[in-house]
Every structure is written in structure tokens, then in C-alpha cells.
Chains A and B, each alone.
Chain A
Amino acid sequence: MYEFEYVRPKSVAEAAGFLAANGEARLMSGGMTLLPTMKQRLAQASHLVHVGPLGELKSITREGDMLVIGSAATHDQVQGSEVVGAAIPALARLARGIGDPQVRYMGTIGGSIANNDPAADYPAGVLGLGATVVTHLRQIAADDYFQGLFTTALGEGEIVTAVRFPVPRRAGYVKFAHPATGYAMSGVFVADTGSGVRVAVTGAGNGVFRWAEAEAALAKSMSPKALDGLALDASHFSEDIHATREYRAQLCRVMAARAVNELLG
């Protein structure tokens, strides 16, 4: 790693102020992506501003028909949270499948969606549930937040503080794990919200996206069969040594059907 200074702010406001004053400083939440990247000398920072330990970012609460998860809530916290389990069990299961036990203790929902790795799990949950990303400056709808490969609507120095999930009637998430990393080679989140069906796909392409044809089909009939033969534009899917574009498309279909089954219980 290149040299940097470790900074532990006492509040989000202090962290935001520090970032604003130090252009080369970087925010660290759990560090599960940032530190490995820095170890490889692929990233550099003057300061690491560590917001992971901030209590104000760690709370998980139910506010009416909203589940609010603080950005520094760890995957382990979310998977074991009774509040999450009662409100959106599919989200708890999603968290339980991220990384490995050691990584789940450190990795956070805020870090995951700020990084927006195209194969990360959380973006599927956030987009699939039509959540709202809360930052220290504003609120951003999930549909506007994710903008493709490692890109989000976040501005310079903007800090995610929480994610607000509307509690759906039912939901399901199933991923096909990458054999080496455990990331999603394809993961599909299906939510039956009060106002319709949302289907979000991660791992297959350049970033999480909604599968409109599946949403329409499942709105008519919430069953795996409804997905049979649906169009799926795989032209923008990624292709690598682990999976071809066509195979990723196949996995999308199968994971979607399995997610529907999970949703149906």
C-alpha cells in the first residue's frame, strides 16, 4: 500500500467536512473492497476516512412500511437482524450469502452500493425493492442511483448514510455464485411490491439492471412458468473465462425462476 493517514471521524458531518477539505481523501466503510485494492497499489489516498464504526450509521429500524438500514450496517448485522428478518427476509438471505463469514463482519451495505461492483449482491436488493439511497445531502431513488459499472449518482465526497427499503408484500433473491469469489455470476431479486413487480438482475452485465419483460410477465402471473421463453437482451452481458454471455443469460432465467419460487415460499 502507498502511504496514507487513517482518520476516524466522530460524525458523518465531520467526515463530510474532512472529505470536502481533502480532495485525495477516500471514505472507507468496511474496507473489504478498498483495502484489497489499495494493497495491490491499484488505488491511492491521502487519507482513509473510516466511517464504518460510526454508531449513527449502524442502526436498523422499521419505520412504518419502511425498513431503514444504516449504511455502515454490516452484512452480518443484516443477515441476523430480527427486524430485517420480519420485514424483508429475502434481504436477510441476500446478506447471508455475501462473501464469507469473516468478510460479512466487516463489509457494509453502504460500501457495497457506493462501490457498485457489477457482481455485488446488494445492488440487486436495492434496485429490486425500489429503495431510496439516503446521503448526507439528499435522497436518491434506486432507479436513478445505479449508473453502470462502478458508477453511481453519488457526487464527490457524498456519503451514503442509509438505505430506505419499502417493505414489499413478498420478495425473493437467488444468485449463482462465482466459484472463486462468491460474487454473483448472476443474481435475481424479485419483489412483489404493493404497486407492482420489480425484477433486478446483478452479475450478468455492466451493472445491476431491471428486467422489464420479466416484471411485466410476473405482474400478470407470479409463477416461474410466466418466465418461460421471455425475451432477455444479453448483448450487454459480460463474458469472461468463467461464463459466456449466453450462459449468463441462461443463469438469469434460472435464478429468476428460483427467486420467484422463493418469493412464493
Chain B
Amino acid sequence: MPDHAHTPHAPFQRKEDRRLVTGHGLYTTDRTFAGELHAVFLRSDRAHADIVSLKTDAAKAMPGVHGVFTAADSTAAGMVKVMCMLALKGTDGEPPRVPARSAFADGRVRFVGETVAMVVADSVAAGLDALEAIEVEYRDLPHVVDAGRALDAGAPVIHDTAPGNLCWVGEAGDRAAVDSAMAAAATVVELSVESTRVIPSPMEPRCCAATYDAANDHYHLYSVTQGVNAMRMQVSFAAGIPESKLTIHAQDVGGSFGNRSPHYPEHCAVMLAAKTLGRPVRWAGTRSECLASDYHGRSNQIAGKLAIDKDGHFTAIQLDWVADMGAFITPAGIASHTRNPVVLLSGVYRIPAMHGRWRAVFTNTSPIAPYRGAGRPDVNYMIERLVDEAAARLGMDPADLRRRNAIGLDQFPYKTPTGTTYEATDVPGSLEKAVLLADWKGFPARRAEAKAKGKLRGIGMATFIENTGAGVFPKDQVDIEVDAKGVVHAFTVAHAQGQGHETTFTQVIADAMGIDTANVLLHEGSPDHVLIGNHTGGSRSLVGAGSVCKLAGLKLVEVAKSAAAAMFDTEPSQVDYVAGTLTDRVSGKSTTLAELARRPEGLKTQAEATIGSTFPTGCHIAEVEIDPLTGTTEILSYVAVDDCGHAVDHTIVEGQVHGGVLQGVGQVFCEKAIYDEETGQLMTGSFMDYTMPRAGMLKHIVIDENCIPSKINSLGAKGVGESGCTGSISAMSNAMADALRPLGVPPMDMPFTSSRVWHAIAAAGGLK
């Protein structure tokens, strides 16, 4: 393994680390406001019910209470909308059905955890006391928590505006071509999988605070976020106010994974209270209320078919996909589980005929939003499970079947039958690197050794391709300016939640300008720099904002040269720029960035670019060992070979892969949000039942790169934030299937908890 030396500046230290390891970060819940009040929420304790009456008078009269808010207030204030970023008409000619959602349940609750009322009080304790004085009378309605069942005839209808609970239906590809390929195929493999519902659970519980400037009719919202622009757009839409009336503030964000990009009802609620009461209002969610009311991730039920000819070539793929939306729409919920799978329907393979149908469905559960990968891990899971089941059916080495079908380096740019054009990448090369690192060939001997000890070993491979986020806004802008001391300041919309932008983006600028990174500072989401640009998400920040930082650095040098030329009374072409110093080649006079910045007009510029999707790829291999007596699994090794394009900092890239892989491992082995079918209650409502991955689950991971720089951005970056998740869910699941297949265990779904694995082994007749 190459030990990537990250930079010449040892020891490694991210710019953000100093404040974060000393406790001087500024997370949203760390902010206090003069005269602040505290909000607490009454949430629905049932899955589906009409609100017959809601009495708040007693609560309003409690000591320390300043206000109690319900749908009567939020609906009257016009806070009734949810943004939906997919406007595309479906195959039934209809765009997505987007039910209204007031900041508080209006007349009916539709999932456990939904906001019903809010008390605003002097303290959290006083607020909680008052919550108990609110009287709600419900009339229970039948509920449905499973998306497949929500489509059944006679299922309870959750929104009158969405008959049959259907939110949207769409198709992609060529059904006739697929039908004929299936008919002509030597082998057709069919498999149904569920990419389980998980709860993203960043370590910083969801929180927000609002102030209202009455003189200017302007709101300030302090919130966890992935980028202030998207948040401002969404919240102003939901609140029914112009974007110009809202400023979003955020500094440090304690993790996100997609979950902090959407707007939430609590945003409108605290804004409403701040305006009504004329005081700052804070809300800090508890973990339990976050587990119930944070938007959840994944929850896709997919049936797949893969057609293969007699030579082992894939000839067609077909998916029928049911995307659980939960009880309401979230801004990117539909798009991430419909558009991304369409873009990636081919996986890394040459498949001439493709078709899929996507149905987005309402259920009495917390709404679904993007979660690390946002549909990409889900479609990859379906495809890669099909490929491994096909290999088993054909008696082929899964690596060989992938070699036979993977798109080769000489075939790019590759246009898939659903219209995506993939950028050049070398999946076969990554596969060969991975099989060497994992000692794929030596596996049969290791399996035999394990068997002799009474253990079940399995090895699983996944290849994958991802489309990084194309962005919601048309371009990414970066402001860059130099202060009087010569320090370069860059301003972006992209907002880190752990990705280390302050380190990598400033490195990019320092490299572009030939200066020390110590003299470059990054500011994300500054209210004083209103820019067009995208939030951080979809593995796109280095690709987008990061590459524009390079352009900004280069452009700033040109601006500085012009300024110096004017000072020297010469042409810019006569000015040499070296490491922050500008010299007139003729006169020998020189100046510095700092000196130019001290001129009245300062030294600054703005750069921008429009950047679409790149396509990171990779090959991951997992090796597992199951103790059949207890059903427990140990992950023995994990190999990740990624093409993330140009890497600015290998240490940070590896960190992203580590974290992504373990989140995938969490979904595969322990995490699942479970709603009880009968009661509609969330059974995983605290960390006592929602099993977060712990230290030691992933002990051995080997990371390597096989990178081909992207051609669509100035850095050549492709992105790496989600690859760990996308690779590990498929690789781990294939390894588990491989371990269990010799016993005759039929394909099983996540999560591979010890209880479920033991039952599967027992049902297959136990060890043979």
C-alpha cells in the first residue's frame, strides 16, 4: 500500500481543527441571543389521526410561557408549503402530487413525530412543563407504514390529493427492447431487494434559532445547513416570504450526510414565534425527537431483472422501483430516488437495453430526504446484487463476470441507453487493483480454513459509478479578496459539515497563487457575500466550488497584475507574479498583494463556472466471517479502490472513504428505522434501539486510488463523499450472500443483524 504523504507540511492539521479540538467551534446550538426564548414541540404520538380538538389555553397560562403556536397560527401566516425540486410530469401526465404542509399538523397528523404545537418559554424546562398542559383529542385513522402496502387497493389514503397514495410515477428506457432481450436471453436473474430505511443521525442534533428585525421586516435564521442559498430558497418558499427578507447564518455544522439540506417545519415555527413575540427563539432538538422527526433516508423497494446471453454478456436490465416518500414531500426526496437511478441504470456495464418504472409513494412515516448517496447506493445495491446472483447461477467468478461486462477505458465517453454520458474512468483497472489487494484468488483457501473452525467466510465485490450532484443553481461563484495584511479571503456558498473545505479549498487557492496556505482563509455562507452557488451535497463541492476557487485564485493574480501595471505605469504583460510579489520586468519595481489591497479600491474579484456531473467510480471488496452459532459477523478486511479524479488531499479523501464505508456497514449490519406495522409507532426511537455503528466494526481497511482526472472542471476532481457508502452496501451484502449461499440460504436483505442471520441459517437447515 502506498502511504500517501498528504502534503509537504507535516504534521497534518486541517485549518478547522484548531478550533474544533479545543472546543471553540461555533455550532448552531452554541449560539445565544440577548433576550432569547426557548421553543419545545409537542409531536404526534400516533401514525394517522384527525385532530378533533387542540386546547392550549392552560399551557399559555403556565409560568414562563410566552406563546403557544399551532396550525391555526402557521396556516394563517401562510407557512403551508413544501418545496419540491422535481417538476417533471410522470407517465400518467401528472407532476408530483405535493400536499400542503403547514408548519404544524393542520387537522390531521400523518406520522409519529410530526409537529403539532410549540411552546415558547423562558426555559426549556418551563416549556416542557407547559407541553404537558396542552390537550389534544385525536380520532385515530387506519395507517400504513410500508410503501409496498400503501399501493395496495384499499390501503388507507394519507392525502386526499394523492389517490392510492401515489405521489409520482415515471418510466425510463425502452420497455419493448427490454422485453425482447429478456425473451431471447440465455439466463434471466430476478431479485427483489429493499434498501432499508435509515436515520442519518449526524451527531449534532437538529436545531435552529430565529430573530426578527421588525424595522426592516427581515428574518435571521440560524440553522444547521449544507449551504445557505438552498436553505434560504427553501425556507422563504415554505414561509411564503421573499428570499430578500431572510438571511441564513451558520458556521460549524456537526455532520449532515444530506439530512441538513432540506427545510423543516421547525424553521418556519421559530421564525413565526420570533416575529410574533419580538424575541429571539431557539430550538435544540433532543436525539429522540430527531430520530422521529429528522427526515429519514433510503427506504426503496426494488424488483430487478438482469438478462444475460450464452456468453455471459448482459443484454438487458429492468427495475420496478417503489420509493417511499414518507408522509410528506421533501425538496429533493423524489428526485434523488428517481433521477439518480435513471442516470446510473447501467451501472459500470455495457447493457444495451434498459427499462425501469419508479413509483413514489406516501406512507405514515417520517418523510424521506437524500442520505449519503441519495439513490446511488440503492441502484448500485440492486445492480450489484443481481450481478452476484447471476455469477452464482452461471457458476462464474463474480470478478470474471464483471470483467466481461464492464465498460472499458477505450469506450469512453460512454452513452448509456437512458441518455447519460459517462466520463472516462477505469473500472476494470480498479477491479484488478482491488483483487490483488484483497487477495481474491487466495479466498477459497481462507474459506476452507474458516470452515474447519466452524465459521462461514464470504467475499463480496462491488463496482460502482456515481453521478455527482449537478447542482440546483446554474453556477458556482466564489468571491476572493486580499486584506491589508496580504491574507487572501475566499467566500463560497458550499458549506462543509466535516469535509474540511477550509483546508482543501485554501490549498487549491494557495497552489493557484503560489502562496502559503497559512495566508488563505475560507469563509462559507457569509451573509456579506451574496453569491450564486450550490450547497454541499452529492459529492460535488470540490468539483464545483472547489474548482472555482482555483479559477478565483488565477483570476485574482491577473487582477493584481493589472493593478500593479497601473501602479508601475506599464502593461500587465510586463509584470511578473511570483508568490504574492509583483515585479515590473523593465523597471525592477515591485509591489505585493498586501500593498495593492491597501489601495482605496482594494484587491478583489469574483470567479464563476457552470459545472455539471462528474462520475466517480470504484471497486470495493469486503471479506466477512460469520459465527453460525450466534449469527454474528466480523468484517475481516475491506479494500476500496476509487477513482475520485484529482485528489487535493489524500488524507481527507481517505477520511471520507472511511466514514462512508462505515455508514454503509451500519445500514448493512445494524441500522434500520422500524415502524411497527400494527401501531405505526417508531420502534427505533432512541439510540437504545437505533443501533449506531461503534468503534471496532471496521478494523481493517485498505484504500487505494486509480484516478483519471475529470475534464469538466479546472481541478480534475470527481468527488468522493459518497463512494464509501455506495461501494460498501453492495460489497458487504455480496460478501454476506457469498458466505451464506453454500448453506442454501436464499438471498436476504439488510440488515444482517445477528438474529436475522442466525434465523436464516437455521431455516436453511443449519451447518451442513
Judged by a CB distance under 8 angstroms, whether A120 is at the interface is no
Q: Check if A247 sits within 8 Å of B687, measured CB to CB.
A: no
Q: Please measure, in the bound complex, the distance between the C-alpha atom of A254 and the C-alpha atom of B628, giving whole angstroms.
A: 11
Please give the distance in Å from A140's CB to the nearest CB on chain B: 30
Q: Please measure, in the bound complex, the distance between the C-alpha atom of A243 and the C-alpha atom of B755, giving whole angstroms.
A: 5
Judged by a CB distance under 8 angstroms, whether B631 is at the interface is yes
Within 8 A of B (CB), among A216-265: 241-244, 246-247, 250-251, 254
Map CB proximity to A onto B656-687 as digits: 1 under 8 Å, 0 otherwise: 00000000000000100010000000011001
Q: Please measure, in the bound complex, the distance between the C-alpha atom of A176 and the C-alpha atom of B687, giving whole angstroms.
A: 18
Q: Check if B759 sits within 8 Å of A247, measured CB to CB.
A: yes
One of A1, A41, A241, A244 near B759 (C-beta < 8 A): A244
Judged by a CB distance under 8 angstroms, whether B155 is at the interface is no
Q: Check if B690 sits within 8 Å of A180, measured CB to CB.
A: yes
**Known contacts A241-B674, A244-B755, A247-B759, A180 near B691 by CB under 8 Å:** yes
Judged by a CB distance under 8 angstroms, whether A102 is at the interface is no
Instruction: Give the residues in chain B near A243, CB-CB below 8 Å.
Output: 754-755
Judged by a CB distance under 8 angstroms, whether B450 is at the interface is no
Judged by a CB distance under 8 angstroms, whether B140 is at the interface is no
Q: Check if B683 sits within 8 Å of A179, measured CB to CB.
A: no
Please give the distance in Å from A175's CB to the nearest CB on chain B: 12
Please give the distance in Å from B676's CB to the nearest CB on chain A: 9
Output the nearest chain B residue to A242 by Cβ-Cβ distance.
Answer: B755
Instruction: Give the residues in chain B near A179, CB-CB below 8 Å.
Output: 670, 691, 753-754
Q: Check if B684 sits within 8 Å of A241, measured CB to CB.
A: yes
Judged by a CB distance under 8 angstroms, whether B17 is at the interface is no
Map CB proximity to A onto B493-534 as digits: 1 under 8 Å, 0 otherwise: 000000000000000000000000000000000000000000
Judged by a CB distance under 8 angstroms, whether B758 is at the interface is yes
Within 8 A of A (CB), among B709-724: none
Instruction: Give the residues in chain B near A181, CB-CB below 8 Å.
Output: 688
Instruction: Give the residues in chain B near A242, CB-CB below 8 Å.
Output: 689, 753, 755
Instruction: Give the residues in chain B near A241, CB-CB below 8 Å.
Output: 674, 683-684, 689
Please give the distance in Å from A234's CB to the nearest CB on chain B: 14
Q: Please measure, in the bound complex, the distance between the C-alpha atom of A197 and the C-alpha atom of B507, giving whole angstroms.
A: 68
**Known contacts A180-B690, A241-B689, A250 near B674 by CB under 8 Å:** no
Please give the distance in Å from A181's CB to the nearest CB on chain B: 5
Instruction: Give the residues in chain B near A244, CB-CB below 8 Å.
Output: 755, 759
Judged by a CB distance under 8 angstroms, whether B396 is at the interface is no
Please give the distance in Å from A8's CB to the nearest CB on chain B: 22
Instruction: Give the residues in chain B near A251, CB-CB below 8 Å.
Output: 630
Q: Please measure, in the bound complex, the distance between the C-alpha atom of A1 and the C-alpha atom of B288, giving whole angstroms.
A: 15
Instruction: Give the residues in chain A near B125, CB-CB below 8 Å.
Output: 1
Q: Please measure, in the bound complex, the distance between the C-alpha atom of A179 and the C-alpha atom of B753, giving whole angstroms.
A: 9
Instruction: Give the residues in chain B near A250, CB-CB below 8 Å.
Output: 629-630, 758, 762
Instruction: Give the residues in chain B near A41, CB-CB below 8 Å.
Output: 128
- Counting chain A CB atoms within 10 Å of each CB, which of B670, B689, B692 scores highest? B689
Instruction: Give the residues in chain A near B674, CB-CB below 8 Å.
Output: 241
Q: Please measure, in the bound complex, the distance between the C-alpha atom of A230 and the C-alpha atom of B687, giving whole angstroms.
A: 35
One of A1, A176, A180 near B688 (C-beta < 8 A): A180
Q: Please measure, in the bound complex, the distance between the C-alpha atom of A263 and the C-alpha atom of B758, giving whole angstroms.
A: 26
Output the nearest chain A residue to B672 by Cβ-Cβ distance.
Answer: A241
Instruction: Give the residues in chain A near B631, CB-CB below 8 Å.
Output: 247
Map CB proximity to A onto B627-650 as digits: 1 under 8 Å, 0 otherwise: 001110000000000000000000
Output the nearest chain A residue to B688 by Cβ-Cβ distance.
Answer: A181
One of B630, B683, B753, B759 near A254 (C-beta < 8 A): B630
Output the nearest chain B residue to A247 by Cβ-Cβ distance.
Answer: B755
Please give the distance in Å from A39's CB to the nearest CB on chain B: 9
Map CB proximity to A onto B691-733 as digits: 1 under 8 Å, 0 otherwise: 1100000000000000000000000000000000000000000
Please give the distance in Å from A49's CB to the nearest CB on chain B: 22
Please give the distance in Å from B34's CB to the nearest CB on chain A: 27
Please give the distance in Å from B453's CB to the nearest CB on chain A: 15
One of B629, B687, B755, B762 near A180 (C-beta < 8 A): B687
Please give the distance in Å from B166's CB to the nearest CB on chain A: 29
- Specify the main secondary structure of chain A where it touches its partner: loop
Q: Please measure, in the bound complex, the distance between the C-alpha atom of A31 and the C-alpha atom of B128, giving whole angstroms.
A: 22
Map CB proximity to A onto B616-633 as digits: 1 under 8 Å, 0 otherwise: 000000000000011100
Q: Please measure, in the bound complex, the distance between the C-alpha atom of A179 and the C-alpha atom of B684, giving whole angstroms.
A: 13
Instruction: Give the residues in chain A near B687, CB-CB below 8 Å.
Output: 180
Q: Please measure, in the bound complex, the distance between the C-alpha atom of A182 and the C-alpha atom of B687, giving whole angstroms.
A: 11
Instruction: Give the residues in chain B near A247, CB-CB below 8 Å.
Output: 631, 754-755, 758-759
Please give the distance in Å from B125's CB to the nearest CB on chain A: 7
Please give the distance in Å from B559's CB to the nearest CB on chain A: 54
Please give the distance in Å from B687's CB to the nearest CB on chain A: 6
Map CB proximity to A onto B724-764 as digits: 1 under 8 Å, 0 otherwise: 00000000000000000000000000000111001100100
Please give the distance in Å from B706's CB to the nearest CB on chain A: 35
Map CB proximity to A onto B119-147 as digits: 1 under 8 Å, 0 otherwise: 00000010010000000000000000000
Please give the distance in Å from B81's CB to the nearest CB on chain A: 34
Output the nearest chain A residue to B758 by Cβ-Cβ distance.
Answer: A247
Q: Check if A180 sits within 8 Å of B759, measured CB to CB.
A: no
Instruction: Give the residues in chain A near B753, CB-CB below 8 Å.
Output: 179, 242
Q: Please measure, in the bound complex, the distance between the C-alpha atom of A60 and the C-alpha atom of B758, giving whole angstroms.
A: 41
Instruction: Give the residues in chain A near B690, CB-CB below 8 Å.
Output: 180
Q: Please measure, in the bound complex, the distance between the C-alpha atom of A242 and the C-alpha atom of B669, giving whole angstroms.
A: 12
Please give the distance in Å from B683's CB to the nearest CB on chain A: 5
Map CB proximity to B onto A156-180 as digits: 1 under 8 Å, 0 otherwise: 0000000000000000000010011
**Known contacts A179-B670, A241-B674, A246 near B759 by CB under 8 Å:** yes
Q: Please measure, in the bound complex, the distance between the C-alpha atom of A251 and the C-alpha atom of B755, giving whole angstroms.
A: 10
Please give the distance in Å from B691's CB to the nearest CB on chain A: 4
Output the nearest chain B residue to A181 by Cβ-Cβ distance.
Answer: B688
Instruction: Give the residues in chain B near A254, CB-CB below 8 Å.
Output: 629-630
Q: Please measure, in the bound complex, the distance between the C-alpha atom of A247 and the C-alpha atom of B753, giving whole angstroms.
A: 11
**Known contacts A241-B683, A247-B631, A250-B758, A180 near B692 by CB under 8 Å:** yes
Output the nearest chain B residue to A257 by Cβ-Cβ distance.
Answer: B629
Within 8 A of B (CB), among A133-174: none
Q: Please measure, in the bound complex, the distance between the C-alpha atom of A244 and the C-alpha atom of B631, giving whole angstroms.
A: 13
Instruction: Give the residues in chain A near B691, CB-CB below 8 Å.
Output: 179-180
Q: Please measure, in the bound complex, the distance between the C-alpha atom of A135 and the C-alpha atom of B759, giving whole angstroms.
A: 44
Instruction: Give the residues in chain B near A246, CB-CB below 8 Å.
Output: 759, 762
Q: Please measure, in the bound complex, the distance between the C-alpha atom of A244 and the C-alpha atom of B689, giving whole angstroms.
A: 15
Please give the distance in Å from B90's CB to the nearest CB on chain A: 35
Instruction: Give the residues in chain A near B670, CB-CB below 8 Å.
Output: 179-180
Please give the distance in Å from B144's CB to the nearest CB on chain A: 19
Instruction: Give the residues in chain A near B689, CB-CB below 8 Å.
Output: 180, 241-242
Map CB proximity to A onto B29-48 as digits: 1 under 8 Å, 0 otherwise: 00000000000000000000
Q: Please measure, in the bound complex, the distance between the C-alpha atom of A246 and the C-alpha atom of B759, giving whole angstroms.
A: 9
Q: Please measure, in the bound complex, the distance between the C-alpha atom of A1 and the C-alpha atom of B124, giving whole angstroms.
A: 10
Please give the distance in Å from A97's CB to the nearest CB on chain B: 14
- Counting chain A CB atoms within 10 Å of each CB, which of B128, B683, B684, B755 scores highest? B755
Within 8 A of B (CB), among A1-18: 1
Map CB proximity to A onto B255-288 as digits: 1 under 8 Å, 0 otherwise: 0000000000000000000000000000000001
Please give the distance in Å from B306's CB to the nearest CB on chain A: 32
Instruction: Give the residues in chain B near A176, CB-CB below 8 Å.
Output: 630, 754
23 A–B contact pairs at CB < 8 A? Answer: A1-B125, A40-B288, A176-B630, A176-B754, A179-B670, A179-B691, A179-B754, A180-B670, A180-B687, A180-B689, A181-B688, A241-B674, A241-B683, A243-B754, A243-B755, A247-B631, A247-B754, A247-B758, A250-B629, A250-B630, A250-B758, A254-B629, A254-B630
What 6 pairs across the A-B complex have the smallest Cβ distances? A180-B691, A247-B755, A243-B755, A179-B691, A254-B629, A241-B683
Extra pairs beyond A1-B125, A179-B753, A243-B754 (14, CB < 8 Å): A176-B630, A176-B754, A180-B670, A180-B688, A181-B688, A241-B684, A244-B759, A246-B759, A246-B762, A247-B631, A247-B754, A247-B758, A247-B759, A250-B762
Q: Which residues of B contact A (CB under 8 A)?
A: 125, 128, 288, 629-631, 670, 674, 683-684, 687-692, 753-755, 758-759, 762
Q: Which residues of A contact B (CB under 8 A)?
A: 1, 40-41, 176, 179-181, 241-244, 246-247, 250-251, 254
